[in-house]
Amino acid sequence: MKLHEFTASRAVAAIRRCEVSSEDLVRALLARMEAVEPQISAMLHVDAEAALAEARARDAAPPSGPLHGIPIALKDNLSVRGQPCTCASRILRGYRAPYDATVVEKLRRAGAVLLGRANMDEFAMGSSTETSSVRATRNPWDPARAPGGSSGGAAAAVAAREAFAALGSDTGGSIRQPAAFCGCVGLKPTYGRVSRYGLVAFASSLDQIGPLTRDVRDAALLFNAIAGHDPHDSTSLSDAPADLSSALGRGVRGLKLGLPREYFLKGIERDVEESVRRAARELEKLGAEIVEVSLPHTEYAVATYYVLATAEASANLARFDGVRYGHRAEKPSDLLEMYGRTRAEGFGAEVKRRIILGTYVLSRGYHDAYYLHAQKARTLIRGDFQQAFARCDAILTPTTPTPAFKLGEKMQDPLQMYLADIFTIAVNLAGACAISLPCGFVVRETTLPVGLQIIGPWMREETIFRIADAYEQATAWREEAPPL
């Protein structure tokens, strides 16, 4: 097996046995990038010399943290002191972060090496990575198809073996949906379990940072490293998360797993549904009990999300005005023209669309009709999950209604693009935790992965990892790799 094909866990073990060095791993991944990046375009910024220098420093020190010497990629909305942080937007070109995000500090303490910055939809607004102002990322399984979004670059880098693991952000499915499209594992933790300090905000009540990895064990390794309370984040939970390694290998015997009837209706492709139902049968064979549950307000999730998320985006993105950092329009006649031209030149079409929509739903005369109603609907959606979890330990759903769609297929139809996240959005609205992992393949012109989503109660990541690990160990989907 070549070095770039290692999982993060295997790479950790190899370093501890002195079979490889961190520098060996970084060089292997840089060579892999050179070979496949022209086809994939997953990365926006890689400082090879800085990564090699960091790796040499790790090699010169005795192994300490659980990620000692392991190269990790970061989505381009996470702050790293002195590095670009553009959110794939023209408005932040030239900006370099003046501080480290909390998750970056924790990765460093765990011994990780920061490999580079992955492409994304502009300001995390999109489901295909096509709204990036730099270029679109391509799916490693079929370069004619989208890798998902908004963490599409991170998912593609992991799937293409350009990184052992990556951190992304998930506001309405932006880790889980690209994980499903690219055939890797993606975790959206409970809201507040991972600090958002240093994450460029899209929708502050929905955003959450999580790992993208090649298998469930690696996802547990990264979550253990980044989770925990942070006084810099007022929404950070004070409860210390359990060590997820204790959840692995326990099996699913005695657990009740719910299948929500609202997630298996018109709109889901038959092959995707069958893959998920087959996964449920496999878990039943392993000792779990499968029960039907209902999430009756699911049909309102997309509309609720696009009112609340855009309202928060309108407020959060008001700071990008050309005054303090980033792009500034040249030779404006006055201050108002500078604001207007800076934002018109700096933001892409999808970001403008969401700012306008968010400003509208917050405006006088419409706040109660839209924003207030959406908050009430959010409460009902959260209540649906509370009632469902009273009947089961976790919920099984498809991660996406279809496999990866073709690049350009949905760009002219925003509603169809938004519906790509129909099975992931409600989890963010409820603040619960969820993980996506491969559960099969479908054949179109090429072979494409299908994702199984396991949704767990608040602060019960160990439950969804227990289920995901049991399923992964009983199947061989994780062993498949894109035909690059």
Q: Which residues have a catalytic role annotated?
A: 75, 150, 174
Count of residues for the chain? Answer: 484
Beta bridge partners of 199: 78
Residue 388 and residue 382 in contact, taking contact as beta carbons nearer than 8 Å: no
Phi-psi region at 401: left, alpha or beta (left = phi > 0; alpha = psi -120 to 50): alpha
CA distance 408 to 301: 25
Residue from 212, 43, 6 nearest 138 by CA: 43
Q: Which two tokens stand for residue 31?
A: 């060579």
Residue 150 preceded by cis peptide, ω within 30: yes
Residue 463 and residue 479 in contact, taking contact as beta carbons nearer than 8 Å: no
| Residues in CB range of 386: below 8 A, 6 or more apart | none
CA distance 453 to 186: 9
The structure tokens 């046995």 sit at 17
The structure tokens 């600090």 sit at 195
What value does the CA radius of gyration of the chain take, rounded to a whole number of Å?
21
